């Protein structure tokens, strides 16, 4: 397969790293913050997962975890970014970051999610974070909702099951758009919006056994998020015409496991189920294949008059996505399932896997970029990609050549896709500093260029150490991707 000798990234390419409030901040109940969905997620060991990850809570688990205020949930610790953001942003600046992706914790701004008046302490925390970024010429890229539905909205409405949550989200988004209109240009509405149909609690604060129609609730909630996203895109542009608002999809290129036409069709259908979300958010309409899917699966979506026009009128400005792995599907063999953070497929014998069993497929990223660009013709932004691995500290050093090689190969394929013609505007690797895992709440699943001395129970000095990959990524950014 011919590969370019020199990979060329466009001038102004947005290099950086991506995080989420619930995985880094800690201080889960400081300065008026309310609890959010992620504060109640328990620690899940590898043995407990047995290859499948549950990111949903039953009513019983929810009530139980809610009463437990002793902090046994490691996510609540984060990595103390709330108090150490200056030190951390300085490290990102040293690597030359052009952009830093964070989420605003909704429950820091509106502790229950539905108040009228925002919590000033929450707002001023993000003021300080953005100011610190700008001190070094780093653009913040802000996710409005990264699995952080406030617990108040879960209790009152069962989260995004209810249409009423749209108004509260719009109020929250409008508040932060106004407040940060001169500090933030790039916004994402819902992190990995497609997760809501896989894991309604994580994606939308929905407790399944409370849902009126458990079969339809994921897609119904997705509809509410589409409407919310369109409304805030409209408002964002009214507040500042320079704002760029993107959607965010968990993307895994889905391959047919064999060349049996039945498998080709299956892969096409699975890809459509994944891309349905961006079809709505970028093209502004429900695709016909979903009408059939809904009918065949007994899914009923309630739309209000005017919803379709709204979706059509306010599509997003760019498409962002996470990419960790590809998936294979086949009707033929029932081989072991491959793992992924949220989606499972079948083992692809051509691919190696990470310590957590996620298949590593850099070429799949090139395929994904090319497919997305051909389908949508809008700017693309890879806002998550990285390798979760165990790291060893030896004499204060971390030799993470495995991470460097993972990232190098993925970045190389981004360069190839750019040369294939895809319009790619940026790349933020996941977890530039070690953080708490989303799916397992582990600390030992590390993604960072910067090591954080903390174990799975939240114990450690929290000292930050530069890994070998820190110096490597610095070189990559300084050479605008020429030196890999």
Active-site residue set: 384
Q: For residues 141 and 260, what is the distance between their CA atoms, to the nearest angstrom?
A: 43
Q: Which of 38, 18, 17, 42 is nearest to 26 (CA)?
A: 38
Q: Nearest distance from residue 320's CB to ligand BGP, in Å?
A: 11
Q: Sign of the CA dihedral 386, 389, 393, 398? A: negative
Rounded distance between C-alpha atoms, residue 151 and residue 102, angstroms: 20
Q: Is 430 in the site for ligand BGP (CB under 6 A)?
A: yes
Using an 8 Å Cβ cutoff, are 314 and 234 in contact?
yes
Measured distance CA(340)–CA(160) in Å, rounded: 25
Applying the rule CB under 6 A, the residues between 265 and 294 that interact with ligand BGP are none
- The torsion defined by the Cα of 246, 249, 255 and 260, in degrees rounded to 10, comes to -100
359 is a site residue for ligand BGP (CB under 6 A): no
Q: Does 119 bind ligand BGP (CB under 6 A)?
A: no
Residue number with CB closer to ligand BGP (80 or 339): 339
Cβ 384 to ligand BGP shortest distance, Å: 6
How many Å apart are CA 459 and CA 80, to the nearest integer?
12
Position 339 contacts ligand BGP (CB under 6 A): no
Spell out the residues 6+ positions from residue 376 whose beta carbon is closer than 8 angstroms to its own. Answer: 278, 282, 283, 319
365-384: contacts with ligand BGP (CB under 6 A) = 384
Pick the piece of the chain touching ligand BGP (CB under 6 A) from 26-34, 286-294, 364-372, 430-438: 430-438
> In angstroms, what is the minimal distance from the CB of 200 to ligand BGP?
15
- Provide, rounded to whole angstroms, the least separation between the CB of residue 274 and ligand BGP: 13
- Please select the residue that binds ligand BGP; options are 445, 446, 466, 467, rule is CB under 6 A: 445
Q: Does 232 bind ligand BGP (CB under 6 A)?
A: no
Helix axes 362-376, 261-278, angle to 10 degrees: 70
User: Shortest Cβ distance from residue 479 to ligand BGP (Å)?
Assistant: 27
| 9 within 8 A of 418, measured Cβ to Cβ | yes
Structure tokens at 172: 């929250």
SS3 of residue 103 by DSSP: strand
**Which residues lie below 8 Å from residue 226, measured CB to CB, with a gap of 6+?**
280, 281, 311
Verify binding: residue 314, ligand BGP, rule CB under 6 A: no
Does 105 engage in binding with ligand BGP (CB under 6 A)?
Answer: no
> What phi, psi does 461 have (nearest 5°)?
-85, -15
Does 102 participate in binding ligand BGP (rule CB under 6 A)? no
Identified binder of ligand BGP from the candidate list 154, 438, 450, 452, rule CB under 6 A: 438
For ligand BGP, the binding residues in 149-208 under the rule CB under 6 A are: 191-192
As a 3-state breakdown, the chain gives helix, strand, coil percent values, each rounded to 5, of: 45, 15, 40
- 56 near ligand BGP (CB under 6 A): no
Interaction of residue 428 with ligand BGP, rule CB under 6 A:
no
- Strand-pairing partners, residue 318, are 246
Residue 341 binding ligand BGP, by CB under 6 A: yes
Binding mask 239-258 for ligand BGP (x = CB under 6 A): -----------x--------
Residue whose CB is less far from ligand BGP, 107 or 231:
107
CB of 388 closer than 8 Å to CB of 445: yes
> Whole-number minimum distance, CB 478 to ligand BGP, in Å?
27
Q: Site for ligand BGP (CB under 6 A): how many residues?
A: 14
Q: What are phi and psi of 434, to 5 degrees?
A: -55, 140
Please report, as residue ranges, which positions from 17 to 36 form the binding site for ligand BGP (by CB under 6 A).
20
Q: Does 343 bind ligand BGP (CB under 6 A)?
A: no
- Closest CB to ligand BGP among residues 7, 249: 249
Give me the least distance between CB of 395 and ligand BGP, in Å please: 28
Applying CB under 6 A, the residues found at the interface with ligand BGP are 20, 191-192, 250, 322, 341, 384, 388, 430, 437-440, 445
């Amino acid at each position: 397969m011919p590969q370019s000798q020199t990979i060329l990234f466009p001038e102004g390419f947005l290099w950086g790293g991506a995080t989420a409030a619930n995985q880094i901040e800690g201080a889960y109940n400081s300065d008026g913050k309310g609890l959010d969905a992620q504060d109640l997620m328990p620690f899940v060991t590898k043995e407990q997962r047995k290859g499948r990850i549950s990111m949903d809570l039953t009513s019983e688990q929810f009530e139980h975890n809610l009463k437990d205020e002793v902090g046994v949930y490691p996510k609540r610790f984060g990595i103390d970014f709330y108090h150490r953001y200056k030190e951390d942003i300085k490290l990102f600046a040293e690597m030359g970051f052009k952009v830093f992706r964070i989420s605003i914790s909704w429950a820091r701004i509106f502790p229950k999610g539905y108040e009228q008046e925002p919590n000033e302490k929450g707002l001023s925390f993000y003021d300080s974070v953005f100011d610190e970024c700008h001190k070094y010429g780093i653009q913040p890229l802000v996710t409005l909702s990264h699995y952080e539905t406030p617990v108040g909205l879960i209790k009152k409405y069962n989260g995004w099951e209810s249409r009423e949550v749209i108004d509260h989200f719009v109020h929250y988004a409008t508040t932060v758009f106004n407040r940060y209109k001169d500090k933030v240009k790039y916004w994402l509405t819902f992190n990995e919006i497609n997760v809501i149909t896989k894991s309604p609690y994580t994606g939308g604060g929905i407790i399944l056994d409370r849902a009126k129609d458990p079969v339809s609730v994921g897609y119904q909630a997705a509809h509410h998020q589409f409407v919310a996203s369109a409304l805030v895109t409209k408002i964002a542009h009214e507040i500042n015409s320079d704002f760029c608002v993107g959607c965010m999809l968990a993307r895994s290129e889905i391959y047919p496991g064999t060349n049996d036409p039945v498998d080709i069709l299956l892969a096409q259908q699975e890809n459509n189920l994944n891309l349905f979300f961006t079809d709505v958010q970028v093209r502004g309409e429900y695709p016909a294949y979903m009408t059939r899917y809904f009918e065949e699966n007994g899914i009923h979506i309630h739309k209000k008059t005017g919803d379709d026009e709204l979706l059509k009128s306010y599509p997003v400005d760019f498409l962002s996505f996470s990419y960790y792995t590809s998936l294979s599907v086949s009707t033929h063999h029932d081989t072991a399932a491959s793992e992924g953070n949220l989606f499972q497929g079948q083992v692809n014998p051509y691919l190696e896997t990470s310590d957590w069993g996620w298949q590593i497929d850099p070429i799949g990223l090139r395929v994904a970029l090319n497919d997305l660009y051909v389908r949508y013709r809008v700017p693309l932004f890879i806002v998550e990609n990285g390798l979760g691995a165990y790291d060893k500290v030896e004499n204060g050093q971390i030799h993470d050549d495995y991470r460097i090689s993972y990232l190098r190969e993925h970045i190389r394929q981004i360069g190839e896709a750019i040369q294939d013609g895809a319009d790619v505007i940026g790349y933020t690797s996941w977890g530039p500093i070690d953080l708490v895992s989303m799916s397992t709440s582990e600390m030992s699943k590390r993604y960072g260029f910067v090591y954080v001395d903390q174990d799975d129970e939240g114990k450690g000095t929290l000292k930050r150490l530069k890994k070998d990959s820190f110096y490597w990524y610095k070189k990559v950014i300084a050479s605008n991707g020429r030196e890999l």
